[in-house]
Structure 1
Amino acid sequence: MSPEKLLLSRQVEMVVIPAAEGELGVLPGHVPAIVSLRGGAVRVYEGGQVTESLFVPAGFAEVTPERVTVLADEASPLATLSRAKAEADLAAAEADYAAAATDTPEKREAAMDRLLSMRVKKELAEAA
């Protein structure tokens, strides 16, 4: 789910999410959890194959035995990522990080998180 719309709602075999601690594969019956997300791809598996991939720069995921709910400010299918836009977003994130050098540690950390997410976005756009 993004603020604009619900992007996917159906039963699938497995979902792999980019949790802050690393990739997390979620199958039916998974133990409940709430995890923070880092920038990366949410991958949906059906029939042993990836059927959908969405880029999320950050967010949270709620996992229950029956479902995974991903909450992100932004989510884009990998096929729609533009290399030029990803490069522009990365350049903006680099500038924001440089400007945050004298800010509070919290603002520097947020700027670094955004920078890392935009690096992943650029990599995913180049691979798509």
Structure 2
Amino acid sequence: MADTLKLEIVTPETTIYSEDVEMVTLPGSEGEAGIYPNHVPLMTRVQAGEIIVNRGGTEEVVAIGEGFAEITGDHIAILTDNAANSADIDEAAAEEAKAKAEQRLEEGGDISEEEAKALTKALTQATLYSQAQIKAKRRKRG
């Protein structure tokens, strides 16, 4: 029985994370999910938020956007539109992005109902991702 599983977090641009880990907590579509080695195979949607990684007795945090996770007994592949390791997050830039997203959502302007729905969804995701980045950075500082 394996003690670890391989976690890979991939965006369209690059692989953000690729390590053997003991446990991963994912922000799933129906709540948080804790994944251990030998987990039952599963394909699930992930929400924008924090992935908490337990590796070598330490906890690491990665902020992610929406995406999908494929889980097998010894491997987790997370495909997401964006992700950032807590060490790489600029807290001021994340706060600014969150504020801009909230402002654009409030302004609205002269747009169709369909465009408004798409804009709301996109800005909600941007806000969630920015909040996850800020939380991940603050958690890293301890």
Q: Give the TM-score normalised by the residue count of structure 2.
A: 0.74
* 1:82 paired to 2:90: yes
Larger strand proportion of the pair:
2
| Paired letter, 1:7 | I
| Paired letter, 2:14 | K
Structure 1 counterpart SS, 2:38:
coil
Structure 1 pair 100/71, CA: closer, same or farther in 2 (3 Å)? Answer: farther
Q: How big is each residue's C-alpha offset from its partner over 1:52-78, in whole Å with a ceiling of 9 and x where there is no partner? A: 321112221111122110111221111
Gaps of 5+ in 2: 1-9
Rg comparison, structure with higher value: 2
Gaps of 5+ in 1: none
Share of identical aligned residues, percent? 30
| Paired letter, 1:45 | N
Q: 2:44 aligns with which of 35, 38, 41?
A: 35
Structure 1 pair 74/113, CA: closer, same or farther in 2 (3 Å)? Answer: closer
| CA contact 1:13–1:45 (8 Å) conserved in 2 | yes
Give the match for residue 5 of structure 1. 14
Give the match for residue 123 of structure 1. 135
Structure 1 pair 106/61, CA: closer, same or farther in 2 (3 Å)? Answer: farther
Structure 1 counterpart SS, 2:19:
coil
Q: Give the TM-score normalised by the residue count of structure 1.
A: 0.81
Structure 2: distance between partners of 1:115 and 1:38: 12
Structure 1 pair 8/121, CA: closer, same or farther in 2 (3 Å)? Answer: closer
